[in-house]
Amino acid sequence: MRKVFSSNVLSETVLVRDALVHQGVDVTIQNEHSGTSAVPGFRPPAEVWVRRDEDYENARRIVVDTIATLDSKSSAKPWTCSNCREENPQSFEICWNCGTQKDNV
C-alpha cells in the first residue's frame, strides 16, 4: 500500500477517494475520523492509500487531475439558479436551495 493523497479537509479526501474508485483504483482512507479526536492538538490528516503499489502512478495522475478540477471550479464564477435565483458555487451540480439541476440554468 502507498499513500497517494492527504488533507486536513475530509471532504477533499472523500472526493479524491471517490474519483479513484470511479476509475477502478482500489483505495482506502486512513485517519478518516481524526477530526473527531478528543485531543484537538492532535488531528492527523486523512489519507488516501492505494492498496496495490502498481496502481500508484495512475492514481497520482487521477489525484492531480481531480485537485486541478476542484481548484478551477472553486475560483470560477458562481451560477444563478433559473428556478429560485439563488447563487451557487460553480462546483455545485444542483442548486443548494431548491435542487434544480445546473444543466437547466
List, for residues 36-83, the tens digit of each pLDDT value.
556 666 778 889 999 999 999 999 999 998 888 776 666 678 889 999
* CB proximity list for 95: less than 8 A, separation 6 or greater: 81, 83, 84, 86, 88, 102
pLDDT (0 to 100) of residue 51:
97
Of 65, 68, 99, 69, the C-alpha closest to 82 is 99
pLDDT (0 to 100) of residue 104:
53
pLDDT (0 to 100) of residue 41:
66
Work out the burial of residue 79: count CB atoms within 10 Å of its CB; fewer than 13 is exposed, 13-18 middle, 19 or more buried.
middle
User: Is the model's pLDDT at 89 over the cut of 80?
Assistant: no
Integer Cα distance of 59 and 57 in angstroms: 5
